Amino acid sequence: MNKVSADADEAVADIPDGASLAVGGFGLSGIPEVVIRALHEQGTTGLRVVSNNCGVDGRGLGVLLAAGRIARVTGSYVGENKEFARQYLSGELEVELVPQGTLAERLRAGGAGIPAFYTPAGVGTQVANGGLPWRYAADGSVAVASPPKETRDFHGRLHVLEHAVTTDFALVRAWRGDRHGNLVFRRAAANFNPLAAMAGRITIAEVEELVEPGELSPNAVHLPGVFVQRIVKLTPAQAADKQIEKRTVRA
**CA 63/CA 39 separation, integer angstroms:** 10
Distance of alpha carbon 245 from alpha carbon 89, whole angstroms: 23
Residue 101 DSSP one-character state: H
Q: Enumerate the H helices of the chain as residue ranges.
A: 8-12, 33-42, 61-66, 82-90, 100-112, 126-129, 193-199, 236-240
Residue 75: per-residue pLDDT: 95
Residue type, 127: V
Are 51 and 68 a contacting pair, CB within 8 Å? no
With contact defined as beta carbons under 8 Å apart, do 22 and 47 qualify? no
Average confidence (pLDDT) over 102-114: 97
AA identity, residue 67? A
Find, among 168, 203, 217, 190, the residue nearest to 16 by Cα: 168
Q: What is the pLDDT at residue 211?
A: 94
- Mean pLDDT, rounded, of the chain: 94
pLDDT single digits (tens) 9-28: 999 999 999 999 999 999 88
The pLDDT of 101-121, averaged and rounded, is 97
> Domains of the chain, with CATH numbers?
8-115+164-240 (3.40.1080.10)
Among 229, 110, 117, smallest CA distance to 177 is for: 229
pLDDT digits (tens, 9 = 90+) for 156-187: 999 999 999 999 999 999 999 999 999 999 99
- Would you give the distance in Å from CA 94 to the centre of its chain? 16
Helix (H, G, I), strand (E, B), or coil: what is residue 84? helix
Cα–Cα dist 17/39, whole Å: 11
Q: What residues form DSSP beta bridges with 71?
A: none
User: Rounded to an integer, what distance in angstroms lies between the CA atom of residue 125 and that of residue 230?
Assistant: 40
| Section 21-39 average pLDDT | 94
